[in-house]
Every structure is written in structure tokens, then in C-alpha cells.
């Protein structure tokens, strides 16, 4: 059971990096720093979008309009940190 919790924690840690990469890529794309016509850039953007959008869309639905500022990745990261703390503090000690 502890091995399963470790795999879940590693997957959550990996997803944190994906969310951060997606947020940074969206800023680079919005400010035309990356070439959007480049096929590799478009493929990376599409992969990051496909990995994060299914989780971010429900968060955006409940968020108020902040005038073009999207804080849904921050809300998602806070949720991931909450899940990790619940696993470490409450679930993992009961597995021993």
C-alpha cells in the first residue's frame, strides 16, 4: 500500500511540473516570444494544453472574471499541495 502512495505522490509531483510548464508556455505564446508557426512549438503547446485543460476547465468555470488574469493554475497547484499533505499527514501514517 505504501508503494501505491509513493507512486501517487510522484505522479502529483510530475503533474505540478506540467502545470507550471503549461502556464509558462501560455505566457510565452501570448506575448509572441515563441514562434507559433513552428511545428515543434505547436506540438508542445498542444500536449501541454491536452494534459492540463481537462483539470483547469472546471476550475475556470467557478472562478470569477478577473479581467484577463487566469489564476486557475494557482488554484490547481494549491489543490495538489492539499492532496499531497492529506496523503502525508493522514493516509500514510495509517498504512504502517
Band of residue 36 on the pLDDT scale cut at 50, 70, 90? confident
CA neighbours closer than 13 Å in the CB half-sphere of residue 82: 6
* pLDDT tens-digit readout, 50-96: 999 999 999 999 998 888 889 999 999 999 999 999 999 999 999 87
With cut-offs at 50, 70 and 90, classify the pLDDT of residue 13. Answer: very high
Name the region of 10 (left: φ>0; alpha: ψ -120 to 50; beta: rest).
Answer: alpha
Amino acid at each position: 500500500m505504501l508503494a501505491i502512495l509513493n507512486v501517487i505522490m510522484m505522479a502529483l509531483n510530475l503533474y505540478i511540473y506540467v502545470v507550471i510548464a503549461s502556464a509558462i508556455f501560455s505566457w510565452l505564446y501570448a506575448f509572441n516570444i515563441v514562434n507559433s508557426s513552428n511545428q515543434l512549438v505547436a506540438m508542445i503547446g498542444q500536449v501541454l494544453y491536452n494534459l492540463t485543460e481537462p483539470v483547469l476547465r472546471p476550475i475556470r468555470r467557478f472562478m470569477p472574471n478577473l479581467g484577463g488574469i487566469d489564476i486557475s493554475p494557482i488554484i490547481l497547484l494549491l489543490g495538489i499541495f492539499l492532496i499531497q499533505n492529506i496523503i502525508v499527514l493522514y493516509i500514510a501514517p495509517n498504512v504502517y
